[in-house]
Amino acid sequence: MQTINDTKFHGFALGLMAAAAVAALPALGAAAADFTVLDNPGDPHFNQLLGINNSRIIVGYFGDGTLVANNGYLLVPQNHYSVENFTRLSAGDHASQTQAIGINNDDQSPNIVGFYTDNNTGITHGFLDTNGVQLKVDDPLGSAPHVSAPVQNLLGTNARGQSAGFWVDDSNNEHGFVVHLSTATNQFAFTEIPPSLFKRAVATQASNINDAHTVCGFWTDAKKVSHGFEGPLGGPYRSFEAVIEGLKIVSTQVFGCNNNGAIVGQVMDSNLDLHGFIYEAGKYQAFDAPGSSQVAVLGVQGTLINGINDFGDIVGFFSDGVSKVKGFVRYAAE
């Protein structure tokens, strides 16, 4: 997963989900905003929580990718982790790294998206997990022979069979897209969101698409400054900059949006500090996780919010300024 920090973001256990969902989840809206650090014990030093659905099921990964490989996981709070690593892949593929990034609102069997790196080829592919099986999802424009070293990610998914993501060209610039899986033909159809749609853009990332087919993400100019965008699939897309009282924002990256018009992500201020942000009910708010630091750890600085559900619960991660990157969830007030 690409962020301002320039860090990169076997099916899940359905039985575990069913057993844990009733007993472990806090009642929706039962308490005032409730912040909790949830770190998978697979790596106590590096966790990122990236997506949350309306059943409060969370996806993320542990491992910084160097000392410990990325391992995607599914979490039913407070601490019911799936033990699988999203490695039930296409024949011949063997994942060396996985990240689970987005999850939709299907209560019975939610779709999950992310990416994996194939151990044999080193190629990074997007995946769609449906009913516990991972389908490889690669945009043809981001694949050989168009790209010499393909890197593709899926980042968000809705309940309409659509997922958002990006591929990377040979100049290391991202190109956003949305893909739709036709249940009638079992074929993928891609809608490109290229840099050419935005004046001065050299890169685009489609971070999510909600159930009303609204896409959110960001584009980046030649000076490496990012700008948020949102709009209906196919356009037109509206560019915007986060406006937060008390901060002079110089870069805006959007990582998530829900069905109620809320948007989340990360901003950089004029001091080069990084903050999470939430746009909701027409207002921007900065969010710095309790215990977060602007001292970078393992490539992560400050706070990043990556996902938001329709209740306003958010998930993300932050640097503690010492030795750890911590995943967090903050449940919304009633």
**If pLDDT is split at 50, 70 and 90, which confidence band does 130 have?**
confident
How far apart (Å, rounded) are the C-alpha atoms in residues 87 and 69?
A: 13
CATH number at residue 111: 2.120.10.30
**If pLDDT is split at 50, 70 and 90, which confidence band does 76 have?**
confident
Q: Is residue 61 part of a domain?
A: yes
Contacts of 102 (CB under 8 A, 6+ apart): 50, 51, 59, 112, 113, 114, 154, 155, 156, 157, 163, 164, 208, 307
**Mean per-residue pLDDT over the chain, rounded:** 88
- List pLDDT tens digits, range 1-23: 444 433 333 233 333 333 333 23
Q: Is residue 79 part of a domain?
A: yes
pLDDT for the residue numbered 213: 98
Domain interval for residue 199: 14-331
How far apart (Å, rounded) are the C-alpha atoms in residues 91 and 80?
A: 30
- List pLDDT tens digits, range 264-303: 999 999 999 999 999 999 999 999 999 999 999 999 999 9
Q: Is residue 133 part of a domain?
A: yes
pLDDT for the residue numbered 334: 64
Q: Is residue 3 part of a domain?
A: no
- List pLDDT tens digits, range 232-254: 999 999 999 999 999 999 999 99
Our count of domains for the chain comes to 1
Q: Is residue 7 part of a domain?
A: no
Q: Is residue 314 part of a domain?
A: yes
Sheet arrangement for strand 201-209: 201-209, 214-221, 226-232, 238-240
pLDDT at residue 328 tops 60: yes
C-alpha dist (Å) from residue 29 to 25, 182, 279, 303, 331:
11, 36, 19, 24, 8
Q: Is residue 86 part of a domain?
A: yes
What integer is the mean pLDDT of 133-138? 89
Q: Is residue 170 part of a domain?
A: yes
- List pLDDT tens digits, range 151-180: 999 999 999 999 999 999 999 999 999 999
pLDDT for the residue numbered 84: 61
pLDDT at residue 144 tops 90: yes
pLDDT at residue 181 tops 80: yes
